[in-house]
Structure 1
Amino acid sequence: MLTPGRSLTMHAESGRELPRVEAFEALYNMGCRPRQGEVIMIAGRSGTQKSGLALFWVSQMNMPTLYFSADMSAFTASSRLASMATGDTTEMVEAGMAEGGRYRETYVNALADSRITFSFGSPITWRAVDEEMEAYVELWDAYPNCLVFDNLMDFDNAESDYTEQMAVMSNATELARATGATVIILHHASDKSWEAKSDPWAPPSRDQVKGGLSEKPELSLSVALDPNSHEYRVAVIKQRMGPCDPTAKRYASMRCHPEVTRFSKIERMTLFPPPEPKPWTPTAVLEKS
């Protein structure tokens, strides 16, 4: 048992705010305060760059991260990181890796300082999580600061079983408490609701998140992408220690750059898509190196 004072003293460090990311300024201005040791859910419909956002977020925070990916292949995840680091499109990264030589070396070196460790496999099992955590501690003598699970429905037996999904959320909470790590878990919102059909580029409300599981984490973010303007909309539909809007009508906007897996502040709104990226050429890569 702990008195309130002792509890506050012991856990003050684990509850500190996560390092801020410049691209998320509009989200912070809404009162969103992601904290260390919390369970955070990113929910959205299919094709809304949930994985890209999670990858960008942990990369920009530059904290030791263990990323469990059942939704992305190993090459997709690593090429996205290389694209993010160099500003080259994923197609350019793929072409450069296939070309080999100095081009391959350029992209490999761009990932040298990354603090993200991946675990690939589908479905995600808790046995695999335990083994990866043990290996991580053996290698670094510390728990990771962040754990990312991409995504909830890719856990073993959790594709459609509500009981299993609830068990995943409970285990994720226990893991966050035991290790002090921030747990970011990705999840789907309904693509078949009336709102999804009538306003597909609006962040889904809390009741559209599958299984009602967005109520379990300390912080739940609802995301949507407008493919015409590349405006990325993020709503805070649950926040235990701050303002939230379960309807997702109030949201923060940022710019999404899916071709390079980057996000940025919106300086000026435009209704036109960005120009098409230039095709990959060996000269373009070598100039950057």
Structure 2
Amino acid sequence: MLTPARSLALHAESGKELPRVEAFEALYAMGCRPRHGEVIMIAGRSGTQKSGFALYWAAQMNLPTLYFSADMSAFTASSRLASMATGDTTEMVEAGMAAGGRHRQEYLSSLAGSNITFSFGSPITWKSVDEELEAFIELWDAFPQLFVFDNLMDFEGAESDYTEQMAVMSGLTELARATGATVMVLHHASDKSWEAKSDPWAPPSRDQVKGGLSEKPELSLSVALDPTSHEYRVAVIKQRMGPCDPTAKRYASMRCHPELTRFSKLETRIPVASPSQPWSPTKILNAA
């Protein structure tokens, strides 16, 4: 048993804010404060770059990470990391790796500083989690600081069973508590709701997340991608220690670069003056 004072002293480090990512400035400005030791859910509809968003986030923080990828293949995940690091498209990475020689070595060298360790088994099982964790500790003599599970429905037995999904979420919470690590889990939102059909590029509200499981983590983010403008929208639909909007009407906007698996702040656009009209310093902001 712990008194409040002892609990605060022992867990102060685990509650510190995660390293900030420059591209997420608009999200932080909304009061979103992802922290060490939290369970974080990233929820969105199909095709909304959830995996790319989580991988980019993990790569930018570059904490010692154990990444369970049942949704992305080994080549897809590693080529996306190489694309992030070099600025070449994933198609260029694929071609360079196939060609061999200097290009192949450049891509391999670009990944040398990454602290991400992958596990690509599908489905994800608790036995595989234990084995990968034991191997990580054996190699680094420490727990990972970040776990990523892509995604919840790829856990064994959790494809459609609500009871099993709840059990997985309880297990992930226990994993975070036992190791002090941040746990990110990706999950789906409904593609069949009225909102999904009428406004498909808006982040889904909390009640559209399948199984109502976004209420379990300390922080739940709802994401959506406008495929025409590549504007990426992130709403905070649950945050235990800060502001949130369950309706997802209030969201942060950033730019998604799918071909590079990168994200950036929305550009500030300055209108070009016509010859008959003097230039005006008025700035047009695309931010939501």
Q: Distance in 2 between matches of 1:20 and 1:68?
A: 22
Q: Deviations over 1:196-233 (max 9, x none)?
A: 00000000000000000000000000000000110000
Query: Over aligned residue pairs, what C-alpha RMSD do you find?
Result: 0.8
Q: Distance in 1 between matches of 2:118 and 2:4?
A: 38
The question of 1:82 aligning with 2:82 is answered yes
Q: Distance in 2 between matches of 1:164 and 1:210?
A: 13
Question: Cα distance, 1:75 vs. partner?
Answer: 0.1
Question: What one-letter code is carried by the residue in structure 2 that aligns with 1:3?
Answer: T
Match of 2:24 in 1: 24
Question: What one-letter code is carried by the residue in structure 1 that aligns with 2:88?
Answer: D
Q: Distance in 1 between matches of 2:36 and 2:161?
A: 29
Match of 1:286 in 2: none
Q: Deviations over 1:228-276 (max 9, x none)?
A: 1100000000000000000000000000000000000012369xxxxxx
Q: Distance in 2 between matches of 1:83 and 1:3?
A: 48
Q: Distance in 1 between matches of 2:61 and 2:265?
A: 16
Specify whether residues 187 and 262 from structure 1 end up closer, same or farther in structure 2 by C-alpha distance, changes over 3 A only. same
Q: Distance in 2 between matches of 1:82 and 1:223?
A: 24
Match of 1:167 in 2: 167
Match of 1:280 in 2: none
Q: Distance in 2 between matches of 1:72 and 1:3?
A: 44
Q: Distance in 2 between matches of 1:21 and 1:171?
A: 28
Any residues of structure 2 matched to 1:97-246 within 5 Å, and which? 97-246=97-246
The TM-score with structure 2 as length reference comes to 0.93
Any residues of structure 2 matched to 1:44-55 within 5 Å, and which? 44-55=44-55
Q: Distance in 2 between matches of 1:117 and 1:148?
A: 10
Q: Deviations over 1:152-205 (max 9, x none)?
A: 000001000000000000000000000000000000000000000000000000
Question: What one-letter code is carried by the residue in structure 2 that aligns with 1:140?
Answer: W
Q: Distance in 2 between matches of 1:154 and 1:260?
A: 25
Which consecutive residues of structure 2, in runs of 5 or more, have no partner in the other structure?
Answer: 271-288
Alignment: residue pair count: 270
Question: Cα distance, 1:54 vs. partner?
Answer: 0.4
Q: Deviations over 1:23-63 (max 9, x none)?
A: 00000000000000000000000000000000000110111
Q: Deviations over 1:91-145 (max 9, x none)?
A: 0000000000111001000000000000001100000000000000000000000
Which consecutive residues of structure 1, in runs of 5 or more, have no partner in the other structure?
Answer: 271-289
Q: Distance in 1 between matches of 2:269 and 2:157?
A: 43
Q: Distance in 2 between matches of 1:223 and 1:90?
A: 22
Q: Distance in 1 between matches of 2:75 and 2:121?
A: 13
Max Rg structure: 2
Aligned residues with identical type, % of pairs = 85
The TM-score with structure 1 as length reference comes to 0.93
